[in-house]
Structure 1
Amino acid sequence: MADVLKPESVALLSPDACDTEDEDLHIGGVEMTTSDFSQFSDTSSIGDTRQLVEEKDDGRPRSGMYVTSFNFINSIIGSGVIGVPFALRQAGFGLGILLIIGVALITDYSIFLLIEGGRLSNTHSYQDMVLVAFGRPGFYILTVLQFLYPFIAMVSYNVIIGDTITKIALWFSGEGDSMVHSILGNRQFIIFLSTLLVTLPLSLYRNISRLGKWALLSILLIFFILVGITVRLATFAKDIPATPNAWQFGNYNVTQAIAILAFAYMCHHNTFLIYQSLDNPTPKRWHIVTHGSIMFAAIMCVILGVVGYVSFTGLTQGDLMENYCHNDTLMNIVRLAFSITIMLTYPVECFVTREVIENAVFPSNPPTPFWRHMTVTLIIVFLTAAVSMSTDCLGIVLEFNGVLAAAPLAYIIPSLCVMRLRQEALFSRGNIGPILTATFGILVAIVGSILAIINAASGEGCSHGREMPYCLAKNNQSVFMNGSFSTTTMTSPIV
């Protein structure tokens, strides 16, 4: 513990100290020079440490536990929650419910490890903690992962928008064919249009706080979605054909289910930010915020997962909205509400991705020039749009993001950092929890990646925009397939 950065040694990173050329620093047992720190922008380690040295009170607004918990819940609940019913299909109904609770508990513990790592290293961001623990190589590995996670999340948002708006377009067409055969029935065009008119303009904001007023609306819309699928469970589930082994306790796709749930619970990339926003962030107050937020998110996941899976059992899709008929009035309203929520959530992830690029590629203290800000934003936004146009399978997107990014960010890296910073014997009693958490994350990442690739190649779990067979049998309506519609006769809408 002698080499770990202590409070009094923070002065080494003050602006004056950073002017010394290549002075050797020993932090957390890692030898670095001041030039290693000078390359990072004020949004990274240098910025946070300078704020500690120069200002005891930085003037930033602080929030009580209720508001902080609300912000934390809002950061957890996102597009991943719509894939929870599919996770129950992959893991089996009984085991799936246990996994929702189990992954929530592991996530709660990993958040504790993350903040513990920040305390041990005297840092106040994820990147800083890894920099202290593993030096520049660790910093760059984390940078790649921090880029991948929000990037893939944005791809999933576009997939949802493309899937849902095309069905709303069919709904608006009624019994006529005008909308069915129009360009609005093409999901690629819908993704392009929503990008150009909504997500790109919002992503060009420099200050993401301008979108903060929509946080409450996002959670309220999740409640509305839950009410909608519950109503349909009572009125529509009886028309869904039974599937074999629908109620078996466990299934072999457990790791894929865990990957989806890891994506659903993922909040580690902004945990430090929320922690610093808490007024008087004592361990006791932070634990209350963490436990309460994770518990609320777990309850929402269990309810939505069970209601969604019970409605469709073995026919449950990676995007639950894909299971509902195109002419279902209530669910089309739910689809529209969810699409709006996703469009307004997209810029938050774009903001994170852009900052990661700025810190890694353009490490400078002056404000980002407008031309570079716009160029980086355009590249990110249109690249995610292009990737999302190539797939309409949300389940696969969620699985890959869970195994490639969420598992390392949430379970592996925090555990390794804490063990490195504690500098205790590897198999000491204090390292048992971190070792188990890291092992869990490694197994999920390796096995989940293999199974996700196999299922992606076989197309398992994707409807590819087709109307579900039970809807065709009931309504005899148009079919959306392979990017276009083939039309039959459509009867009155479901209300």
Structure 2
Amino acid sequence: MGENSILTSLQKEQNSKSSLKMAFMNMANSIIGAGIIGQAYAVKKSGLLGGIFLLVSLTFVVDWTIRLMVVNAKMSATDSYQATVTRCFGRAGLLAISIAQGAFAFGGSIAFCVIIGDTIPHVIGAVFPSVRSSEGFIGFLVRRNTIIMLFTLLISYPLSLNRDISKLAKASAVALLSMVVIVLVVVIRGPAISTDLKGGAFTIPLLTVNTGFFQGISIISFAFVCHHNSLLIYQSLRQPTLDRFATLTHWSTFVSMIACLALGLGGFLVFRDKTLGNLLNNFAGDDVYANLARFCFGFNMLTTLPLEIFVCREVLLNYFFRDSEYSKLRHFVTTTVLVVTAMAVALSTCNLGAILELVGAFSASTMAYILPPMCFLKLSTKKSGWRDRALPTACIVFGVVVMVLSSAQTIFSMINDTETSHCSV
């Protein structure tokens, strides 16, 4: 009976793991999240040629650093991003990665809630036109902030209480299908909209390299970085090998790049200098096709938000209760506080572009361009020559430059209020 019990337990554990297809759904959905809707804004900031160059080149960099994390974990005999950085740099490393991961996941959660408020009210107004001018309780229910609270607490919050990330794979698959609809709507519907909504004439900076080049890097990085949960996805594989994970990473980043290029170029070429941080806000509120895209995007955010809460919760619990046993109460309280706090911040702002820029500048740069190569250099000091160290060193320098310059540009832009209103309702 003892042997049978062990076999049964192993079988259950194996069944709870993700296939390569399921893992692809989770990783691609983690990448093609809130950040994709800001890719046209990134192209505007970077310029057309600059934006295309960044979208392609950063795909290769992110693909490399994601796989480098797994190599680092194996070299250091650790099983998480936090543990790897801690093994390399001690308590200071743990603090650095915890702040970066937590800030990125929490910033993503805020962005997702903002997008829910940007999209769902338009959809409800399109389906039930009379509610737009309704007073009293009905009018209250369809307001932006009420929608954010209702949809976050009733849909995203219950999903966030899951402990097993592989259980979100089916929701991720549906969310990816919805992204296909969004891309098609932007690419096909965009050129056909009223000329009043389209942007002005192209300028040389818009066509080549614009002054917001480093801000563009931050926005693109926000979209592509999934380092905060990539090791979790690696461990969820039924057969976690470097080759299988490399295949998973290549396909996930490549598909994400194609989607970002389609949405980024399709949106920017239509709206040009008018392009907003949330591209769907450029379309008219009563545009039927745009509202279909808004519905799909809002639904995507409802299912992607739990992935970010999952990571943020794990970061907090691993830092403060690393040696403690699992507690249902602690799990419940932590999840509740994270969801409610992210939702509360989203209720106070509509500026999705600034959120993507700031989170991308600080957290994405740290997680994708700075810490993975730093750990690699630390772990392979005695085994590698200068040629092996040149690429990681260059990546670290790149990450630091992006963090400093992009953060400064974004803060300066916010202080001077150079952007138009980002609220759609």
Partner of 1:330: 289
Partner of 2:395: 437
Q: Return the alpha-carbon distance in structure 2 between the equivalents of residues 89 and 430 of structure 1.
A: 36
Q: Return the alpha-carbon distance in structure 2 between the equivalents of residues 446 and 395 of structure 1.
A: 18
Q: Return the alpha-carbon distance in structure 2 between the equivalents of residues 427 and 403 of structure 1.
A: 31
Change (3 A) 1:282 1:213: closer
Q: Give the alignment of 1:118-267 within 5 angstroms.
A: 118-172=73-127, 174=129, 178-179=133-134, 182-236=139-193, 238-246=195-203, 247-267=206-226
Q: Return the alpha-carbon distance in structure 1 between the equivalents of residues 87 and 11 of structure 2.
A: 24
Pairing partner for 1:451 from 383, 402, 409: 409
2:312 is aligned with what amino acid? T
Change (3 A) 1:180 1:312: farther
The Cα shift of 1:377 comes to 2.0
Q: Is the 8 A contact 2:29 2:304 kept in 1?
A: no
Q: Deviation per CA, 1:220-265, whole angstroms, max 9, x where unpaired? A: 0000111111221242165544424454211010111000110100
The Cα shift of 1:426 comes to 9.5
Q: Give the alignment of 1:308-347 within 5 angstroms.
A: 308-347=267-306
Q: Return the alpha-carbon distance in structure 2 between the equivalents of residues 425 and 176 of structure 1.
A: 67
Partner of 2:4: none
Q: Is the 8 A contact 1:322 1:463 kept in 2?
A: no
Q: Return the alpha-carbon distance in structure 2 between the equivalents of residues 218 and 428 of structure 1.
A: 44
Q: Is the 8 A contact 2:26 2:168 kept in 1?
A: no
Pairing partner for 1:287 from 246, 259, 265: 246
Q: Is the 8 A contact 1:65 1:278 kept in 2?
A: yes
Establish whether residue 76 from structure 1 lines up as the match of residue 34 from structure 2: no
- Secondary structure class of the residue paired with 1:124: coil
Q: Is the 8 A contact 1:169 1:179 kept in 2?
A: no
Partner of 2:355: 397
Change (3 A) 1:462 1:318: farther
Of 183-192 and 325-334, the range deviating more from structure 2: 183-192
- Secondary structure class of the residue paired with 2:14: coil
The Cα shift of 1:59 comes to 4.3
Q: Deviation per CA, 1:385-437, whole angstroms, max 9, x where unpaired? A: 11111210110011111011111011100011110111249982211010011
Q: Is the 8 A contact 2:276 2:422 kept in 1?
A: no
Q: Return the alpha-carbon distance in structure 1 between the equivalents of residues 156 and 12 of structure 2.
A: 32
Of 254-263 and 107-116, the range deviating more from structure 2: 107-116
The Cα shift of 1:320 comes to 0.7
Pairing partner for 1:355 from 306, 314, 331: 314
Q: Return the alpha-carbon distance in structure 1 between the equivalents of residues 12 and 372 of structure 2.
A: 27
Q: Is the 8 A contact 1:68 1:277 kept in 2?
A: yes
Q: Is the 8 A contact 1:393 1:462 kept in 2?
A: no
Q: Deviation per CA, 1:46-70, whole angstroms, max 9, x where unpaired? A: xxxxxxxxx9999434555444434
Pairing partner for 1:96 from 51, 73, 76: 51
The one of the two structures with greater contact order (alpha-carbon pairs below 8 A, sep at least 6) is 2
1:422 is aligned with what amino acid? S
The Cα shift of 1:110 comes to 1.2
Q: Is the 8 A contact 1:89 1:316 kept in 2?
A: yes
Q: Return the alpha-carbon distance in structure 2 between the equivalents of residues 180 and 230 of structure 1.
A: 37
Establish whether residue 416 from structure 1 lines up as the match of residue 374 from structure 2: yes
Change (3 A) 1:206 1:120: closer
Q: Is the 8 A contact 1:104 1:265 kept in 2?
A: yes
Change (3 A) 1:283 1:384: closer
Partner of 2:5: none
Q: Deviation per CA, 1:199-238, whole angstroms, max 9, x where unpaired? A: 2233233444443321211110000111111221242165
Change (3 A) 1:395 1:432: same
Change (3 A) 1:369 1:73: closer
Pairing partner for 1:60 from 9, 14, 17: 14
The Cα shift of 1:366 comes to 2.2
Larger Rg belongs to: 1
Change (3 A) 1:72 1:206: closer
Structure with the largest fraction of helix: 2
Q: Is the 8 A contact 1:199 1:347 kept in 2?
A: yes
1:248 is aligned with what amino acid? L
Q: Return the alpha-carbon distance in structure 1 between the equivalents of residues 239 and 126 of structure 2.
A: 51
Q: Is the 8 A contact 2:182 2:293 kept in 1?
A: yes
Q: Deviation per CA, 1:12-32, whole angstroms, max 9, x where unpaired? A: xxxxxxxxxxxxxxxxxxxxx
* TM-score normalised by L of structure 1: 0.77
Q: Return the alpha-carbon distance in structure 1 between the equivalents of residues 77 and 194 of structure 2.
A: 54
2:184 is aligned with what amino acid? V
Number of residues paired by the alignment? 412
- Where structure 1 has 5 or more consecutive residues not aligned to the other structure, the ranges are 1-54, 467-479, 481-495
The Cα shift of 1:300 comes to 1.2
Q: Return the alpha-carbon distance in structure 2 between the equivalents of residues 384 and 462 of structure 1.
A: 24
Q: Give the alignment of 1:483-494 within 5 angstroms.
A: none
The Cα shift of 1:459 comes to 3.2
Change (3 A) 1:241 1:137: closer
Q: Return the alpha-carbon distance in structure 1 between the equivalents of residues 159 and 241 of structure 2.
A: 35
Q: Return the alpha-carbon distance in structure 1 between the equivalents of residues 44 and 279 of structure 2.
A: 11
Change (3 A) 1:325 1:119: same
- Where structure 2 has 5 or more consecutive residues not aligned to the other structure, the ranges are 1-8
Q: Return the alpha-carbon distance in structure 2 between the equivalents of residues 380 and 59 of structure 1.
A: 28
